[in-house]
Amino acid sequence: MSKSHDHNHPGHEPEVLEPMLPAPTDDASSQALSEALRSSFWIVKIIMFVLVVVFLCSGVFIVPPNQKVVVLRFGKPMSATKEQLLGPGLHWSWPYPIDEKVLIPISEIQNVTSSVGWYALNPDGTDTQPGGSLNPAFDGYAMTADGNIIHARITLNYRIIDPISYVLNFDDAKQIVTNALDNALLDAAAQFKVDDAIRLERGAFKDKVVQIFNRAVEKQQLGIVVESSNLDAIAPRQVKDAFDAVIAVEQESSTTNNAAKSAAATLLSMALGESNSIVTTATSDSSKLLGKIAADAKDFQGRLGFYERNPALFQQLLLTETWRSILANADDKFINLINDPVSGKPYELRLQLNREAESNEDKERRQKQKTGQPAAIIPK
């Protein structure tokens, strides 16, 4: 270190300190380090630019057909209505964790199955062997209105109509739908008797499940609509044979009743037909008889005046008309004069009688006699 000097001391000039220069080797290393740092800065800039581009490009996404997307920015939806949802096509948003994209299957049919009332299945979905009795720890069941137990399950197909409510209002909307369907199945089973639920009114049972489910959907605002459903309902497997026997007897009874009703309907139809025929014939005969009586009455009324003017002449003409009608077809007429035992005056008695019906042989013989041919002698 240099010594200090008094700059105010007379007769002395100030001493100038020259800077110490680094050695030539130090200059070369510093320059190399500076060049390396400048190169590194450029590389870092390029890498950062590439990372920024990659970061921004990662926000590009494609919405597939039949689906829409709601974008969540810091956990809150940017779209408040269905019309603001992003439809199919190419879109961009800030990458995660700024924005989060939630796909919503708008037109795709969703399905859910309620097996709360069904017996236990194997892991591969096949039926297990029924034990001696139903095990509530493994086998599901439903209670009916008459206190019996049945197995029932229903598969429901639904479509999302309010995606905002379905996706954003529930952590697991599909599980909420399943729970609502389970409750609806058990509630509906409690309103039907066992025979109605598994055989007689199965369609009404299914409709009741869907009706109760729709009420729950509307109350919870799930934003879905039911498209179709399929229900299975059976008796417990442990008593299947007894149910089958009862069903067989009922079917036989139904067949017999139907045959009896068919026979009764046939007999009734025949009886009605005969009755209608008799009534029709009687009506026709009655009409003919009434017509004849009316004609006779008209004829009687027409002759009554003539009879009243000349009864003797009327009787003579009526007698002559009667004889004419009687003897119209007589071949031989016989007239005999008979004296009236009272007055002693003779009067004629005429008889006109038909001959016996001529046989074919007599006709042939008579024809040959007319033509002059000898008649064949027919032995008697």
Residues 198-227 have pLDDT tens digits of: 888 999 999 999 999 999 999 998 888 999
Instruction: Give the torsion sign (CA, 101, 107, 109, 110).
Output: positive
* pLDDT score for 356: 60
Q: Is the dihedral of CA 162, 168, 174, 175 positive or negative?
A: negative
How much is the average pLDDT of 333-344?
59
Per the prediction, the chain carries an average pLDDT of: 77
Amino acid at 71: V
Neighbours of 152 (CB within 10 A): 28
Query: What pLDDT does residue 5 have?
Result: 44
Write out the H or E segment, with its range, that includes residue 17.
none
- Encode 348-364: b = buried (16+ Cβ within 10 Å), e = exposed: eeeeeeeeeeeeeeeee
Per-domain residue ranges for the chain? 34-105, 110-121+136-235, 309-368
Check residue 2 and give its pLDDT. 42
In this predicted structure, the answer to whether residue 184 has a pLDDT above a threshold of 70 is yes
Q: For the domain made up of 110-121+136-235, give the CATH fold.
A: Tetrahydropterin Synthase; Chain A (3.30.479)
Residue 91: how many CB atoms within 10 A of its CB?
15
The answer on pLDDT for 56 being more than 60 is yes
Per-residue pLDDT at 372 exceeds 70 = no
Helix (H) or strand (E) holding 101: strand 99-105
**pLDDT for 259-294, tens place per residue?**
999 999 999 999 999 999 999 999 999 999 999 899
Cα(168)–Cα(81) distance, integer angstroms: 12
DSSP state of 121: B
Whether residue 187 is predicted with pLDDT greater than 80 in this model: the reply is yes
pLDDT in tens, 108-123: 788 899 888 898 888 8
pLDDT at position 379 is 44
Helix (H, G, I), strand (E, B) or coil at 235: coil
Task: Supply the pLDDT for residue 59.
Answer: 64
Is 321 a residue whose pLDDT tops 70?
yes
Smallest CA-to-CA distance from 334 within 355, 304, 317, 361 is with 355
- pLDDT higher than threshold 90 for residue 189: yes
